[in-house]
């Protein structure tokens, strides 16, 4: 007599994005190792198509979740709700952008042409897992899949010692932070008896812990582990070095994709799972957010390397996102999602321009390289201007709309001081973007700089498309805000 | 609320206020697609766009209902639905003349001065600047106001930085950061105001100026804090005395057109902000903080005048005279009575016209002589009598000579300040004398005396320059001799603002003129909005 084996319910339709990224990566790896010479265009095109396919598939998925509600499967360890779809969309956009930027970058740097795309797809798959994890262990799996791929990506520029250095730093600190996260998960498990987010939140809603020291310690360790991934002060120290050293297209992915996945995880763990403990973690979040915007902005001002400037500016942005996140309300969550979306476009566009300007060797990142760009490359300079103004949060760009969103969430929650600090930091950070504008338009081309040649198509497409989207969102913010409002995350039991 | 507003105002017709914003934007886009090698075509398009916009703003003057204290030409388009932000535009007697001033000064500035290089982005930025300014004066939604208030920094930054003189990149950056830092907290203030209002009234979140101002639902303490956040932004923009240090640099390094617009229009954003978003939204807090602003206003008048006296650079002198003039406007505004506010409002227009014209004239001298140093100039009257004559009239208007526009405004400000706070008015009156001192002295050194070297054969005003200056001169004389058409359009709105302030301030009962307290401002002035 053979007993029937009950396998857990799997909502295959909800796994399609994850499977697409993973299978596309494996297929690309297999084909590349079997076929001796692949056409150079194949790998980036393949990656972009995979991203585009995911993006298109998200549309019916979105309406299906809207109709049937959020779902959870694989014994309640993986969930699908509109927030995970939204973040997957951001990841897909970042994958497409990074692939397009890399298309011309790899031949220019004479680097092998397939590994980057494979790792990119793998890391995107990890991001999707993070965004839809309903269990802390699954979350950790996603984080590791994402991170390990990115460690390798950072080291991909074989001939730049800075690239190796960046990878090593990122790997060592990243391994530590993973350990923190895992230890935090263990402590939370010890305190609540489960690693399942739904069960943890139900347990905390129904029980009052007499001694919650273990839970609080776990909570703190979770914050350290995830705070490292999204680069908030004081876990940000790796960011400038890694951004500076890693290949620029990889940085675009790290800034847009990794950050989106990290914040999605923070939102699921803290706002959804540990929502009952909001009064315990909110003060910590507020202090971290204030420290992040201030430190990021102030230190950005004294940088001379553009990639480091953008690294610190990404820290400021992380602080802003945290300002929305600490509200722990629907308004806050939707503002975080909207911010992540616009920030993804701002940052991939900016790094696309940086990739072009950096020149062969990926080395000219000083302000000198940008001097007189307004004359040499008026179109590229114009696009970069839009993106920088967007990063500064100037009105009628998407950057302002999303800043308004997170500030509104903070003010709605009564955190006036935090909103004030964030705005002052934004004014300080504006100086950084102005320095770039000054270099591009108000300073003469230094003698000896030859005029750069044509702008590669892939990077140009990314930069122009990002700038257009940033402007459109700034002028017609309704659609994005509606999407983000509908994408408010929920945890449901399977 | 706004639906009623729209219905009662009966403005189903052409949305003229959005058109004032959209037209320059379209012009800027058109300029950007025109061929770069045809500067004359670029200028034609830019000037005609500005003229069309100006014509629309003058049309407002004729269509404006005299005697109506409420907002007219209302139009509303929902924008950020979730946050309750909508593109709500409307003007009353307070904003009407600032819109017209904007509509007048931009064509003048565009026509008078050519950029010299990079004509295409220059015209595009000028037109975008105009759109932003029109947006500020027309917006009745707090967020839209803030957007326009902030966005004008970008074109101005590029105009100063790219087409300015000397260390213009530094001046532009200083201007940008100063004003951006100033208004940083205002956004938080706006959000706090809207959320607290929504909490107190139970209504949906909305940034509708009229609704929030008429409800006055905030506690006194909260209102004072939020007022302070607003006031900081406006004080930097005006600029009020200790925050003025960006202004001389920005003015001096800016191209002539930039100075004209900066002095003529952009400085009014702050003073207008105080009237529309300070006094109207926070009557009690405005009254509470009034002594601070009165004092700083007077300090600005005296300080600006003294520093202006010491300047060796003609343009810097005019810049510091602006600090003094804006001190008058602040003094009038915070006198919190009809005379003072009306005078301040008139001074906003007067200062725009007179100082705009002064900057144009200084720019013309600079174009001819290549210097603005008073010490290098002298005896210009002999070679350029017309220019000297025009300069004289404009300067006298700036001093406040009776019969010219400056007098009417200054007189009303002093009258209002005297009624409310005697000793401040006395101190401010000293500033008038100082103004006569530094301007006449400068005039004497530049235009009188023996003409040496290049000063002897400086060409006089050309036809184009004369044509550009003519409307400004006409306004200077017209408003000095017959200010009634202007005042009668301003007065109902100013009156209702003053009564709004009085109504919401306990025990505040000055001045005595036509109180109308038996009706109360809510039913009387904004009745049709309720």
Average pLDDT over residues A69-74: 87
Alpha-carbon distance A17 to A23, whole Å? Answer: 10
Using one digit for the tens of pLDDT, what is the confidence trace for A110-154?
A: 888 788 999 999 999 999 999 999 999 999 999 999 999 999 999
Q: How far is B125 from chain A (nearest CA, A)?
A: 13
**Structure confidence at residue A383 as a pLDDT band (50, 70, 90):** very high
In a domain, B21, yes or no: yes
What pLDDT shows up at residue B371?
82
Q: Is the pLDDT of residue A447 over 80?
A: no
What pLDDT shows up at residue B6?
44
Alpha carbon of A88 to those of A127, A225, A387, B274, B334: distances in Å?
Answer: 8, 21, 23, 46, 55
Alpha-carbon distance B319 to B322, whole Å? Answer: 5
pTM exceeds cut of 0.80: yes
Q: How far is B330 from chain A (nearest CA, A)?
A: 26
What pLDDT shows up at residue A98?
94
Which residues span the domain enclosing A199? Answer: 12-486
Instruction: List beta partners, residue B208.
Output: B141
Total tally of structural domains belonging to chain B:
1
What DSSP state is assigned to residue B241? G
What pLDDT shows up at residue B121?
86
Alpha-carbon distance A155 to B44, whole Å? Answer: 56
What pLDDT shows up at residue B385?
86
Region of B511 (left: φ > 0; alpha: ψ -120 to 50; beta: rest) is beta
In a domain, A3, yes or no: no
Best A416, A472, A474, A478 residue to mutate vs chain B (most B CBs within 10 Å): A416
In a domain, A231, yes or no: yes
What pLDDT shows up at residue B203?
83
- Written as one string, the DSSP assignment of A377-434 is -HHHHHHHHHHHHHHHT-TTSHHHHHHHHHHHHHHHTT-HHHHHHHHHHHHHHHHHHH
What pLDDT shows up at residue A19?
95
In a domain, B10, yes or no: no
What pLDDT shows up at residue B189?
92
Element (H, E) at B262: none
* Interchain contact, B181 vs A424, CB within 8 Å: yes
Q: Would you say the C-alpha torsion A152, A153, A159, A163 has a positive or negative sign?
A: negative
What pLDDT shows up at residue B519?
37
In a domain, A35, yes or no: yes
In a domain, B451, yes or no: yes
In a domain, A298, yes or no: yes
Q: Is the pLDDT of residue A361 over 80?
A: no
In a domain, A492, yes or no: no
In a domain, A232, yes or no: yes
Question: Nearest residue of B to residue A382 by CA position?
Answer: B121
Using one digit for the tens of pLDDT, what is the confidence trace for A170-221?
A: 999 999 999 999 999 999 999 999 999 999 999 998 988 888 899 999 999 9
Beta strands in A129-189 (DSSP E): none
A102 closest CA partner among A153, A139, A63, A148 = A153
What DSSP state is assigned to residue B277? I
Alpha-carbon distance A349 to A340, whole Å? Answer: 14
Which residues span the domain enclosing B55? Answer: 17-526
Nearest to B187 among A423, A477, A482 (CB): A423
Q: How far is B452 from chain A (nearest CA, A)?
A: 36
* Interchain contact, A477 vs B143, CB within 8 Å: no
Contact A129, A123 (CB under 8 A): no
Contact B58, B100 (CB under 8 A): yes
Contacts of B7 (CB under 8 A, 6+ apart): none
- Written as one string, the DSSP assignment of A20-80 is HHHHHHHHHHHHHHHSS---TTHHHHHHHHHHHHHHHHHHHHHHHHHHH--EEETTTTEEE
Total tally of structural domains belonging to chain A:
1
What pLDDT shows up at residue B509?
57
In a domain, B307, yes or no: yes
* Interchain contact, A424 vs B176, CB within 8 Å: no
Provide, rounded to the nearest whole percent, the portion of chain A with pLDDT above 70.
98
Contacts of A401 in chain B (CB under 8 A): 80
Alpha carbon of B122 to those of A126, B36, B119: distances in Å?
Answer: 48, 11, 5
In a domain, A2, yes or no: no
Average pLDDT over residues A312-320: 94
Mean pLDDT for all residues in chain A: 90
- Written as one string, the DSSP assignment of A301-321 is HT--BHHHHHHHHHHHHHHHH
* Interchain contact, A395 vs B146, CB within 8 Å: yes
What pLDDT shows up at residue A179?
94
What pLDDT shows up at residue B530?
32
Nearest to A394 among B150, B168, B177 (CB): B150
- Spans in chain B with pLDDT lower than 50: 1-12, 511-530
Average pLDDT over residues A379-388: 92
What pLDDT shows up at residue A488?
85
Nearest to B176 among A416, A420, A434 (CB): A434
Residues 382-421 of A with CB under 8 A from B: 389, 394-396, 400-401, 404-405, 407-408, 411-412, 416, 419-420
What pLDDT shows up at residue B192?
92
Contacts of A391 (CB under 8 A, 6+ apart): A313, A317, A346, A350, A399, A429, A433
């Amino acid at each position: 007599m053979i007993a029937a084996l009950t396998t857990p319910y799997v909502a295959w339709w909800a796994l399609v994005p994850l499977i697409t990224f993973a299978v596309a990566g494996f297929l690309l790896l297999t084909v590349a190792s079997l076929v001796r010479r692949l056409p150079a265009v194949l790998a980036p095109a393949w990656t972009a198509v995979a991203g585009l396919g995911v993006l298109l598939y998200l549309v019916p998925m979105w309406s299906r979740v809207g109709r049937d509600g959020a779902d959870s499967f694989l014994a309640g360890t993986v969930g699908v709700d509109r927030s995970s779809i939204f973040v997957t969309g951001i990841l897909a956009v970042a994958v497409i952008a990074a692939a397009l930027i890399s298309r011309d970058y790899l031949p220019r740097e004479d680097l092998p042409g397939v590994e980057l795309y494979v790792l990119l797809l793998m890391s995107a798959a990890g991001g999707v897992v993070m965004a839809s994890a309903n269990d802390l262990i699954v979350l950790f799996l996603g984080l590791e899949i994402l991170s390990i791929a990115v460690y390798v990506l950072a080291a991909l520029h074989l001939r730049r010692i800075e690239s190796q250095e960046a990878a090593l730093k990122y790997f060592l600190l990243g391994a530590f932070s993973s350990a923190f996260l895992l230890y935090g998960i263990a402590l939370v498990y010890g305190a609540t008896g489960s690693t399942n987010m739904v069960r943890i939140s139900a347990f905390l809603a129904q029980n009052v812990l007499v001694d919650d020291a273990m839970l609080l310690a776990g909570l703190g360790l979770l914050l350290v582990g995830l705070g490292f991934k999204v680069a908030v002060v004081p876990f940000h120290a790796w960011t400038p070095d890694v951004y500076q050293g890693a290949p620029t297209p990889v940085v675009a992915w790290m800034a847009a994709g990794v950050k989106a996945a990290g914040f999605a995880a923070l939102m699921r763990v803290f706002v959804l799972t540990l929502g009952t403990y909001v009064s315990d973690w909110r003060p910590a979040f507020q202090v971290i957010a204030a420290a992040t915007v201030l430190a990021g902005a102030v230190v950005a001002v004294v940088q001379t390397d553009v990639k480091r400037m953008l690294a610190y500016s990404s820290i400021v942005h992380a602080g802003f996102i945290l300002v929305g996140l600490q509200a722990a309300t629907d308004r806050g969550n939707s503002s975080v999602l909207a911010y992540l979306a616009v920030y993804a476009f701002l940052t991939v566009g900016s790094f696309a321009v940086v990739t072009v300007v950096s020149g062969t060797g990926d080395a000219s990142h000083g302000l000198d390289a940008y001097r007189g760009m307004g004359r040499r490359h008026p179109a590229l300079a114009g696009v970069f201007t839009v993106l920088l103004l967007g990063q500064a949060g100037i009105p009628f760009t998407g950057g302002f709309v999303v800043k308004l969103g997170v500030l509104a969430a903070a003010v709605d929650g009564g955190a006036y001081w935090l909103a004030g600090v964030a705005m002052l930091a934004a004014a300080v950070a504006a100086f950084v973007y102005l320095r770039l504008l000054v270099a591009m338009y108000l300073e003469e081309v230094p003698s000896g700089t030859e005029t750069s040649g044509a702008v590669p198509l892939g990077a140009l497409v990314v930069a122009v498309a990002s700038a257009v989207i940033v402007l459109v969102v700034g002028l017609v913010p309704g659609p994005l805000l509606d999407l983000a409002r509908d994408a408010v995350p929920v945890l449901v039991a399977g | 609320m706004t639906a009623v507003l729209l219905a009662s105002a009966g403005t189903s017709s052409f949305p003229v206020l959005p058109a004032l914003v959209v037209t320059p934007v379209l012009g800027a886009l058109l300029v950007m697609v025109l061929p770069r090698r045809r500067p004359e075509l670029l200028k034609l398009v830019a000037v005609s766009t500005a003229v069309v916009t100006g014509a629309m703003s003058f049309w407002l003057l004729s269509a404006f209902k005299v005697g109506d204290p409420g907002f007219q030409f209302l139009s509303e388009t929902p924008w950020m639905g979730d946050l309750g932000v909508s593109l709500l535009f409307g003007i009353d007697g307070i904003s009407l003349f600032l819109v017209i001033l904007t509509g007048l000064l931009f064509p003048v500035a565009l026509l008078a001065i050519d950029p010299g290089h990079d004509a295409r982005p220059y015209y595009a930025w000028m037109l975008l600047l105009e759109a932003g300014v029109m947006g500020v004066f027309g917006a009745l939604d707090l967020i839209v106001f803030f957007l326009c208030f902030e966005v004008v920094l970008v074109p101005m930054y590029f105009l100063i930085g790219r087409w300015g003189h000397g260390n213009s990149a530094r001046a532009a950056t200083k201007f940008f950061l100063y004003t951006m830092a100033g208004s940083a907290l205002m956004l938080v203030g706006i959000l706090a105001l809207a959320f607290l209002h929504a909490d107190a009234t139970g209504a949906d979140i909305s940034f509708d100026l009229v609704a929030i101002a008429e409800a006055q639902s905030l506690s006194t303490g909260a209102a004072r804090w939020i007022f302070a956040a607003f006031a900081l932004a406006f004080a930097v923009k005006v600029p009020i005395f200790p925050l003025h240090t960006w202004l001389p640099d920005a003015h001096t390094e800016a191209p002539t057109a930039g100075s004209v617009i900066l002095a003529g229009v952009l400085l009014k954003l702050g003073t207008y902000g105080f009237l529309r978003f300070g006094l109207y939204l926070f009557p009690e807090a405005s009254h509470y903080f009034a002594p601070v602003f009165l004092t700083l206003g007077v300090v600005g008048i005296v300080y600006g005048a003294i520093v202006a006296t010491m300047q060796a650079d003609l343009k810097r002198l005019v810049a510091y005279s602006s600090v003094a003039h804006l001190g008058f406007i602040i003094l009038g505004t915070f006198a919190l009575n009809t005379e003072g506010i009306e005078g301040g409002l008139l001074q906003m227009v007067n200062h725009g016209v007179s100082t705009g014209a002064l900057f144009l004239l200084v720019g013309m001298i600079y174009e001819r002589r290549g210097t603005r140093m008073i010490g290098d100039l002298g005896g210009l009257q002999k070679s350029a009598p017309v220019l000297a004559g025009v300069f004289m009239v404009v300067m006298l208007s700036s001093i406040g000579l009776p019969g010219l526009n400056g007098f009417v405004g200054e007189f009303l400000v002093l009258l209002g300040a005297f009624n409310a706070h005697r000793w401040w008015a006395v101190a401010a009156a000293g500033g008038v004398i100082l103004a006569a001192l530094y301007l006449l002295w400068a005039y004497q050194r530049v235009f009188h005396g023996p003409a040496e070297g290049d000063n002897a054969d400086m060409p006089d005003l050309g036809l184009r320059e004369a044509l550009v200056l003519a409307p400004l001169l006409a306004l200077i004389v017209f408003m000095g001799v017959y200010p009634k058409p202007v005042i009668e359009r301003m007065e109902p709105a100013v009156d209702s603002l003053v009564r709004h302030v009085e109504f919401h301030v306990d025990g505040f009962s000055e001045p005595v003129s036509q109180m109308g307290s038996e009706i109360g401002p809510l039913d009387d002035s904004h009745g049709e909005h309720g």
